[in-house]
Amino acid sequence: MESIFLTINGQKVACLSGDSILIAAEKNSIPIPILCYHPDLKPHGACRLCLVENEKTGRLMASCVTPAAQDMVIQTASPRVLHHRRNIVRLMMAEHPESCIVCSKGNHCELRRIAASLGVGDSGLYPMPNFPSYEQMNPFIIRDLSKCILCGKCIRADHELVVAGAIEYNHRGFKPRPATLYERPLEESICTFCGTCVSICPTGALSVKNTAYVGTPDQETDSICGFCSVGCSLSMGVAGQKVVDVNPSKSRASVNGATLCVRGHFANDYLNSPARLTRPLVRSKDGEGKSIHAPAAWDEALDAVVMKLSAIKREFGAGSVAFIGSSKCSNEENYLFQKIAREIFETPNLVTLSYDTGQALAARIDARTGGMCRVNPLAELEGARVIVVVNADPGRSVPVVDYHIRRAAKKGAALILVNPWKIELNRWAGAWMRPDYSRPSGPMASDFLLALAKGLVADAGYDRGSVEQATDGFDAFYDMISRRNGIAGEAVDAAVRLMKNQKIAFVIGADTLCYPDGAQTADAVANLLILTGGIGAKRSGLFVLLPESNTLGAMDMGMMPDHLPGRVRLDDGGNIGPDMEGFIEGIESGRIRAAYIMGENPARSLPQPDRVAAALKKLDLLVVQDILYTRTAAMAHFILPGAAAAEKAGAFTNLEGRIQMFSPVVQPPGEAKADWEILAQLIWKMGHPEHYQSLEKIRQEIRRLVPMYQGLGSHLQGWIANNPKGGKPAFAMDFPPVSVALDAAHPFIARLSAPRHHLGGGTRTGRSERVRAYGDHGAVEISPDDCRVLGLEVCGKVRLVSEFGKIERSYVQSSRPPKGMAIVPMGENQNDAMGLAGLSGKNRPASFGWTVSRVGIEKI
Amino acid sequence: MEPKPIDWEKLASIIETHRTRKWNLIPLLQEVQETFGYIPPESMEPIAEALNMSPAEVQGVVTFYAGFSLKPKGKCVLKVCRGTACHVKGSRSILRFVQNELGLQEGETSEDYQFTLETVACLGACFLAPTMMVNKNYFGRLNPTKVSSVLNQYGKSKEDDGSP
Ligand code: SF4
Ligand code: SF4
Ligand code: SF4
Ligand code: FES
Ligand code: FES
């Protein structure tokens, strides 16, 4: 692109051809006021506030939509420009209600700021406020469209950034407003309450519904969202040591840009929940001999914890002590925690709750790809021309990933789905293969994926050069795949046509291993990635939709039974600890006598929660370090109050492999402490020579021991590294046939999946006032076919019964699940849905894991 | 009286002929409007689905153009001209007269779905002022007697399709 030169306010400036006058001015630090322009949105030219004067022609023009031209002479603040600009603002003000004092947009209102800077007070015009609509029945967003200036930013954000299509201009002349279909309230539309439009709206027309605090925060600090594995950059508004407002961070290098999802935007009010732990608590007896949790001093509590843990280790051996780390805690914390387990207690018993629903899958794929596919920037997903989504509902689990896919699809990327149930992305699907797990013979997801590989090989549609160069064993793979009796069909053929000779981005759901053919599915996806030359390529990658903010980091820090820090796999002969089920069995059998749980609530989040709770009760010693008084904490002998991400410093590794450093926005409540400080004190008290007085000291040690974490540091972002030794991807060859046995008493598949407003089991989101006010969204979705067979009306109540437990729920007839499958929302109702699933999962072949279960359905 | 029930099959077949061609939104809406006399609100979702748009976007287009209506209209749509030339020639009284005769205000439709009353800015037939249109037919040099006879002409023949 060539440079052009023009004059702005008498100053000679340069810009690129194609730049608008506004951009040219911005590049040269010449301010022009704007209202409808946003760097992430297509210029719209609606507000006319950015008008400038062309000195040569005398024309006034909107600088955001006028391209700069060679030798232009522009005035941005001539008396004429200012006169018109003021008039534009006066006209806006004349239409605007006079409610600035109580407006919840407060000092975020750009209209007010611009009016003030232009010296427009009273408009001096006849006030003609319009449109009385005021809407605030939902607990997230207030719409007061009388304050709308029709800049169209909300609509463009809704269409261009989150690609929801919930709102659009309605009518014309004086009447238009951003409207939902049939002008219904937001909660009756397809709006996902992502709040992107709210943050981007320059006026009080769209604002956050706050119950506790109205007004402008005292200060704003950036942080990282502590919910899902996207790790969005947040700007948190603080008033009086409380987080009262959340917006997308203004940082241009963030993964989320101007978007967020309903959890990050609205559910962080859980930070101010009365259930927060504020001081150490110790189990003791009250005057009447009833067991209570009594407050204790930190030193007292920590000394007692150290003493009791050591005593149990001395008496019953190293294997009697167990540690559950957390995908919600930082890299530094998980590093210290595994160090305590491995080095100080010499126990192999360490695991996180995301082992079965994410980490085991990520580790498997890492091994298959030789550690050469660790970094997967979402920008490559958005740039991809072909995207294959397997066993996932990204719109609910990781909404910001979903926006990337939608934007790609809108730009014309081909979307291929291998998913049992219908998701919102189906709207763009070029091919949809629908696995069926309710019948013994499938077809299952892995069958489809193998058929795709067979099709690509048969049509010579794979990347021969890169395959032969980068991998061994292609010939054997070629033979194996060609000889398979692949399933055929229109969808498979269509998908092969779309995938042929393309670089492809693969997206795989975190709980893929919960399906009977999960391991085969993961392997088949890795094979396709290798086959299409996607490793290390642009517009490609393998995106594992991990459940929580630091699922990947916890794994990289070795908070896993079978891996040391840096994804160093322990050999089979080595000292590998049990998975989660083995863990609970260990407690049940009396082998494990003490557990230290950091930042997890297994008595709510795990399958068979009552079995888990009964086991935890059996322990001689249960230490829980957490931020909320959870069901698990209620059973503990010692409760140590930790801190949420917003209250401490640390680093998370998101699903892309991006290491994101954060620093405290507020102090932890009461006497609570950053988790790494608690662990550092414990280590010191246990007589370990290392005294971790600063985060940097932990980071130094990680950088020294974990080569892939050189990017961890004091700057804001870094990336993990691919296998430093240079691994070689290898085709998976072993695809034994899988079949699910029928079970007459439990003929349906229940697919447990969290709705968008909950993260996983909902321990934190369930403590958000807004999410609570949103009400019960726990209805089970049942297909029309099954409704007919079961004699169910359009809606009502059912009982779901599995081998492990039963729940009662309302249900709705829905076209999302296929025949034979019911979608059961997690998180709602104290997460009772987990009662349907069995703890044994991943390691029992051809069975269902934690989020998929076989059930019977009865009408009640 | 209810408006004519929508012939869903017909609607579906119209939508089918335009499927996946995004630029076909306006022609598709025109065809629906033409066939049913209005755009049934329930049709916006299937239309959006077929053209891979969001229903709210379809609604935005429907409500933008005066030519599309989301409400069923009467068999006979009266457009009384309120343009300058007609105004000078007394179109205000013509409108009042029509309003009284039909018992309708602007934008309203009679209960039996026989008449819809609308006004327009200029029918482009100023030399005939004051003017009005009924469906596709022009009537000019109006006076109350003439208006009455036009209304009778349309009002009496409820069985036919609206042509005199
Ligand atoms: S609601 Fe806000 S963002 Fe949307 S058009 Fe109105 S002023 Fe602009
Ligand atoms: S909250 Fe999100 S989905 Fe809803 S209208 Fe705004 S941008 Fe669209
Ligand atoms: S929950 Fe995930 S997608 Fe939502 S704001 Fe937080 S990090 Fe972003
Ligand atoms: S900022 Fe240019 S017209 Fe609104
Ligand atoms: S003003 Fe009535 S036809 Fe032109």
Higher pLDDT, A743 or A762: A762
Q: H or E element: which one contains A445?
A: helix A445-458
Report pLDDT for A742.
Answer: 79
| CA A153 / ligand 4 centre spacing (Å) | 11
- Give the pLDDT mean for A247-267: 96
Question: What span, in angstroms and rounded, lies between the C-alpha atoms of A122 and A120?
Answer: 6
**DSSP assignment of A92-153, as one string?**
HHHTS-S-GGG-TTGGG-HHHHHHHHTT--S--S--------EE--SSSEEEEGGG-----H
| Closest to A547 in 3D by CA, of A845, A753, A767, A829 | A753
A227 pocket-lining for ligand 3 (C-beta < 6 Å): yes
> Is a pLDDT exceeding 60 seen at residue B80?
yes
Pairing mode, if any, of strands B115-120 and A291-295? unpaired
Q: What is the overall mean pLDDT for chain A?
A: 93
DSSP per position, A21-89: HHHHHHHTT-----SS--TTS-----S-TTEEEETTT--EEETTTSB--TT-EEESS-HHHHHHHHHHH
Cis peptide before B3 (omega within 30 of 0): no
Q: Is the dihedral of CA B142, B155, B153, B163 positive or negative?
A: positive
Q: Does A844 touch chain B (CB under 8 A)?
A: no
Partner residues linked to B134 by β-bridges? B78, B137
Who contacts A329 (Cβ-Cβ below 8 Å, separation ≥6)? A337, A550, A554, A598, A599, A642, A650, A675
For residue B164, what pLDDT band results from cuts at 50, 70 and 90? very low
Query: For residue B22, what pLDDT is reported?
Result: 66
Q: What is the pLDDT, as a whole number, of residue A440?
A: 82
Q: Quick one: what percent of chain B has pLDDT higher than 90?
A: 44
Nearest residue of B to residue A184, measured between CA atoms: B56
CA distance A741 to A747: 10
The answer to whether residue B154 scores a pLDDT higher than 60 is yes
Beta bridge partners of A533: none
Percent of chain A with pLDDT over 90: 80
The DSSP element (H or E) to which A430 belongs, if any, is strand A429-433
Q: What angle do CA A553, A349, A841 make, to 5 degrees?
A: 80
Mean pLDDT of the A753-777 span = 94
Chain centroid to CA A793: 35
DSSP state, residue A571:
P
Tokens of A554: 């916890």
Cα separation, A783 vs A77, whole angstroms = 62
Is residue A572 pLDDT above 80, yes or no? no
B113-124 residue pLDDT tens: 889 999 988 888
Res. A500 pLDDT band, cuts 50 70 90? very high
Pick from A35-44, A106-115, A520-529, A609-618: least confident: A106-115
Q: Which residues pair with A560 in a beta bridge?
A: A563
Its ipTM equals 0.77
> Chain B: which residues have CB within 8 Å of chain A?
41, 44-45, 49, 52-57, 59-60, 63-64
Task: Say what the pLDDT of residue A211 is.
Answer: 66
Distance, CA A547 to ligand 2 centroid (Å)?
Answer: 23
Domains of chain A by range and CATH? Answer: 3-77 (3.10.20.740), 104-272 (3.30.70.20), 281-354+550-719 (3.40.50.740), 361-545 (3.40.228.10), 748-859 (2.40.40.20)
**Does residue A456 or residue A574 have the better pLDDT?**
A456
The two tokens of residue A60 are 């006034």
Instruction: Give the closest of A169, A189, A190 to B60, CB-based.
Output: A169
Residues 6+ apart with CB under 8 A from A23: A15, A68
Q: What is the pLDDT of residue A844?
A: 55
| Cβ neighbours for A744, distance < 8 A, ≥ 6 positions apart | none
Which amino acid is residue A452, in one-letter code?
L
Percent of chain A clearing pLDDT 70 (strictly above):
97
Cα–Cα distances in Å, from A641 out to A302, A493, A598? 12, 56, 10
Cis before B130? omega within 30 = yes
Closest ligand to A39 CA? 4
Each residue of A206-248: pLDDT tens digit? 999 986 666 678 899 999 999 999 999 999 999 988 999 999 9
* pLDDT value at residue B159: 45
In the sheet with B137-139, reading across from the earlier edge strand, the strands are B115-120, B76-81, B132-134, B137-139
Q: Which residues face A237 on adjacent strands?
A: A220, A245
| Residue B154, both tokens | 């349309």
Q: What pLDDT is attached to residue B160?
A: 46
Q: Per-residue pLDDT averaged across A519-528, rounded?
A: 96
Q: Which of A169, A197, A428 to mutate to test the interface with B (most CBs of B within 10 A)?
A: A169
Coil/strand/helix, residue A598 = strand
pLDDT digits over A323-378, tens only? 999 999 999 999 999 999 999 999 999 999 999 889 999 999 999 999 999 999 99
Contact A260 CB / ligand 3 (< 6 Å) = yes
Q: Which residue has the higher pLDDT, A848 or B95?
A: B95
Question: How close A203 comes to chain B (CA, Å)?
Answer: 22
Our CA-based measurement puts residue B153 at a distance from the nearest CA of chain A, in whole angstroms, of 34
pLDDT band at A269 (very low <50, low <70, confident <90, very high): very high
Calculated CA dihedral for residues A370, A376, A380, A386, nearest 10 degrees: 60
The whole-number pLDDT of residue A131 equals 62
Helix, strand, coil shares of chain B, percent, nearest 5, are 50, 10, 40
Average pLDDT value for residue range A307-320: 95
- Which domains are present in chain B? 8-64 (1.10.10.1590), 76-161 (3.40.30.10)
Within a 10 A sphere around the Cβ of A39, how many other Cβ atoms? 10
DSSP 8-state secondary structure symbol assigned to residue A840 = -
Residues in chain A within 8 Å Cβ distance of B57: 159, 165, 168
In this prediction, residue A1 carries a pLDDT of 73
Burial B104-140 (b: 16+ CB within 10 A, else e): beeebbbeebbbbbbbbeebebbebbbbbbbeeeebb
HEC secondary structure over A366-396: HHHCCCCCCCCCHHHHHHCCEEEEECCCHHH
More confident residue, B162 or A269: A269
Q: What is the pLDDT of residue A608?
A: 94
Nearest to A170 among B41, B52, B59 (CB): B59
Residue B137 CA: distances (Å) to CA of A177, A710, A773, B150, B162: 35, 80, 57, 11, 10
Measured CA to CA in angstroms, residue A52 lies from A19, A55, A86, A90, A424 at distances of: 15, 9, 13, 18, 43
Cβ burial of B30 (10 Å; 0-12, 13-18, 19+) is middle
Which residues of chain B form beta strands (DSSP E)?
76-81, 115-120, 132-134, 137-139
Query: CA angle A271-A751-A368, nearest 5°?
Result: 90
Angle between helices A331-339 and A695-705 (to 10 degrees): 70
Residue A130 pLDDT level (bands cut at 50, 70, 90): low
Tens of pLDDT, residue by residue over A709-734, are: 999 987 889 999 998 787 889 999 99
pLDDT of A725: 80
- Residue A181 tokens read as 């279909």
Radius of gyration of chain B (CA): 18
Cβ of residue A188 closer than 8 Å to a chain B Cβ = no
Q: In this predicted model, what pLDDT tens digit does every residue of A163-221 receive, in sequence order?
A: 999 999 988 776 778 888 988 889 999 999 999 999 999 999 999 998 666 667 889 99
For the segment A529-533, the average pLDDT, to the nearest whole number, is 95
- Nearest-CA residue for atom 6 of ligand 1: A148
Lowest mean pLDDT among A75-79, A99-103, A316-320: A99-103
Average pLDDT rounded to a whole number, residues A48-56: 95
Residue pairs between chains A and B whose CB atoms are closer than 8 Å: 42
Q: How many residues does chain A have?
A: 860
**Cβ within 8 Å, pair A181-B53:** no
CA-nearest residue to B69 within chain A is A171
Which of A13-22, A835-844, A847-856 is least confident?
A835-844
Q: Is the CB of A266 under 6 A from ligand 3?
A: no
Residues of A with Cβ-Cβ distance to B41 under 8 angstroms = 182
Q: Is the pLDDT of residue A762 over 60?
A: yes
Residue of B nearest to A180 (CA): B56
State the first-to-last Cα distance of chain A, in angstroms, to the nearest integer.
Answer: 68
Residue with tokens 């504020």: A278
Q: Whose CA is nearest to atom 8 of ligand 1?
A: A151
